[in-house]
Structure 1
Amino acid sequence: MKKVSFYVSNLVKRVLNYGKFKNEFLKRLPKEFHGAARLLFYHTFTPAEKELASKIESFRSRIPELSSAKEIYSYTSPHSNSFATDEQGNALPGEYLGSAVEAHMKTGSSTFNGILLRRIVEGAGVKRILELGTNTGFSGCYFLSVPGTELVTIEGSDALCEIAKQNMDRISDKHRIMNMLFDEAISKLIEEKATFDCVFIDGQHEQKATLHYTQRVLPLLKPGALIVHDDIYWSEDMHAAWEQMVQDPKFSQTVDLFYKGICVLGNGAENKAHYDMGEYLPRPEIFRKNW
């Protein structure tokens, strides 16, 4: 009943706000984010996007045959207020737990979230992407489907790296998988003087961890680069991290797209602007209460 109620209120709000979204919000919103905002409002794919999503989604059923291990070990996402660092200030990972390889057929970006990421990257003209949290490589596939993109992706689980490489190889070979903890890999990339147009942070869904990694990746970015955060409505704690970033003067623009939050790194000259789809659609409820 709760889902039906949300669906009805969502539909009603879409109809009532159609004109405002089209004639007010899109006029204020920078053009590079129009495609992502339209997807969130209209929930429709282009024929080419449907074909791509179908192709990438077909990889999911093949995951068990891509792994040399029957059990996949990976780091869990820490709960709220459990974030900790070592003596060097590097984040301590969550528990390293095993699960059946079949369980990972349900993980990774969905078709909707994958196309949303693709529209963000394509709209902003992003070419070099850093991803924190490879998983089985589905988000990486959507990133790499944008012509001319290169991806560096970090994953602590060697078994997931094995699966992700085979999945992403089907789309492009312009990727580098770093089988390391996030802080370790970020430090290595800083030493290499690597630079990126976009960072996608999709690892530890916790406020302090999110703020920690946001700060850590800044040396890898130039003004105008994007930091895209996944699951900003994951928990009260995670949403508090997003609200803090919305107020952060380092970012000239922030965009609340419900499933993703975008921060644009400024150069100190712009007036800060925030764009929120919650003004036109029912805002999602927190996904995990008391996480």
Structure 2
Amino acid sequence: MLFQIRAYLKFLWNSKNEHGVHSPFVFNLLTKCFYDRKSKPEYAILKKYRKSFLDNKNFIEVTDFGSGSRVFKSNRRQISKIAKTAGISEKRAELLYRVTKYFKPESILEIGTSLGLATSALALGNIHAKVITLEGCPQTANECQSQLQKFNFNNVDSIVTEFEKYFQDIKLRLKTETENFDLIYFDGNHSKKATLAYFQVLLPTIKNDSVWIFDDIHWSPEMEEAWEAIKSHQKVTVTIDTFQWGFVFFRYEQKKEHFVIRA
């Protein structure tokens, strides 16, 4: 916790808003998407979806393949508390919706479904997109799949799998065929090793307009190290640090720049 406080203070010291940005691409993203304060009808749907879990007092047994929880001491967890503490916040869900709507991705991959609070934002952002979401815990996935069906999120393909297994399969497919994702949301394993491994495996799927979002880039010193390695990669051009999220772009027409933005 002390590490994150220090990291946040450092972020605040270095961060800017749109007035300190000279890149037209990033300026437009900030003014037309990040800082869009207008209410959207879809926000009410996201709020209802969230409330369906906040009102659920049942317990499930969570299988955790990631770096563990700083909140829960047991794998037997109440669904309402998972939604309250482990899921994406309401404001972040709205931002993720706006980002998806802004870029209009046709193919989306989410690594780490949990209860689908982020999944619902991705699915609503472009109802014509195909959203593939991966979850390792069967009971969590079952709860999510049930609610996605109730809310008619029919463009979501929910896959219950260990992430390593999925990436082994995708590596084999990429040897003989092309596979692309327009947007990838990384929220499955907050460790340096896993984050960089997923990054490397998925690099062959990028297009010029691909958008990658990494959650919790300041979670720990090793996650910050992973973020620094991603920023410096030769195929990465523009990166944006919003503290909670790291945005990565591969646009060949952009010069390499990094932005620290209050969002």
% same residue: 21
Question: Could you tell me which residue of structure 1 aligns to residue 82 of structure 2?
Answer: 104
User: How far apart in 1 are the matches of 2:257 and 2:129?
Assistant: 27
Partner of 2:153: 172
For residue 182 of structure 1, report the CA deviation from its aligned partner: 1.1
1:137 and 1:163 in contact (8 A); partners too: no
| Residues in 1 aligned to 2:32 and 2:245: alpha-carbon distance in whole angstroms | 14
Report what 1:288 is aligned to.
Answer: none
Give yes or no for contact 1:178–1:185 (8 Å, CA) kept in 2: no
Q: Which residue of 2 aligns with 1:275?
A: 259
Contact 1:114–1:142 under 8 Å retained in 2: yes
Q: Which amino acid aligns with 1:202?
A: D
Structure 2 CA distance for partners of 1:225 and 1:30, relative to 1, 3 Å: farther
Matches within 5 A, 1:106-255: 106=84, 107-146=86-125, 147-169=127-149, 170-190=151-171, 191=173, 193-255=178-240
Segments of 5+ residues of structure 2 without an aligned counterpart are: 1-5, 69-73
Q: In the alignment, which of 22, 28, 33 is matched to residue 31 of structure 1?
A: 28
Deviations 1:262-289 (A, max 9, x none): 111244x6421222216xx8xxxxxxxx
Change (3 A) 1:134 1:31: same
Q: Secondary structure at the match of 1:222?
A: coil
The answer on whether the counterparts of 1:143 and 1:151 sit within 8 Å (CA) in structure 2 is yes
CA spacing shift, 1:151–1:62, aligned 2, 3 Å: farther
Structure 1 residue 27: Cα displacement:
5.8
Distance in 2 separating the partners of 1:220 and 1:59: 35
The answer to whether the 8 A contact 1:63-1:104 is kept is: no
What is the aligned length? 240
Alpha-carbon distance, 1:134 to partner: 0.7
SS at match of 2:113: coil
Provide the C-alpha distance between the structure 2 equivalents of 1:180 and 1:134, rounded to a whole number of angstroms: 11
Structure 1 contact 63–105 (Cα < 8 Å) conserved = no
1: CA distance between counterparts of 2:78 and 2:115? Answer: 11
Query: Cα 1:236–1:35, aligned 2, differ >3 Å: closer, same or farther?
Result: farther
Q: Any idea what the Cα deviations from partners look like across 1:178-221, whole Å, max 9, x if unmatched?
A: 11111211333452754210111101111122111111112232
Aligned to 1:185, the other structure's residue is in SS state helix
Which of 29, 35, 54 pairs up with 2:47? 54
Equivalent position SS for 1:131: strand
Secondary structure of 1:162's match?
Answer: helix
Indicate the residue corresponding to 2:3 in structure 1: none
2 CA distance for matches of 1:266 and 1:112?
27
- Aligned equivalents of 1:259 and 1:271: distance in 2? 24
Contact 1:35/1:120 (8 A) holds in 2: no
SS in 2 for 1:212: helix
Pair 252,22 (structure 1): closer, same or farther in 2 beyond 3 Å: closer
Query: What is the CA–CA distance in structure 2 between the aligned matches of 1:184 and 1:109, rounded to whole Å?
Result: 25
Distance (Å, rounded) in 2 between the aligned partners of 1:51 and 1:156? 29
| TM superposition shift of 1:226 | 1.4
RMSD: 3.0
TM-score (norm 2): 0.79
Over alpha carbons, which structure has the higher Rg?
1
Q: What runs of 5+ residues in structure 1 fail to find an aligned partner?
A: 1-5, 80-96, 282-291
CA deviation profile, 1:198-249 (whole Å, cap 9, x unmatched): 1111011111221111111122322321111001121122122112222222
The match for 2:62 is 73
Q: Secondary structure at the match of 2:146?
A: helix
- The TM-score, its normalising length taken from structure 1, stands at 0.72
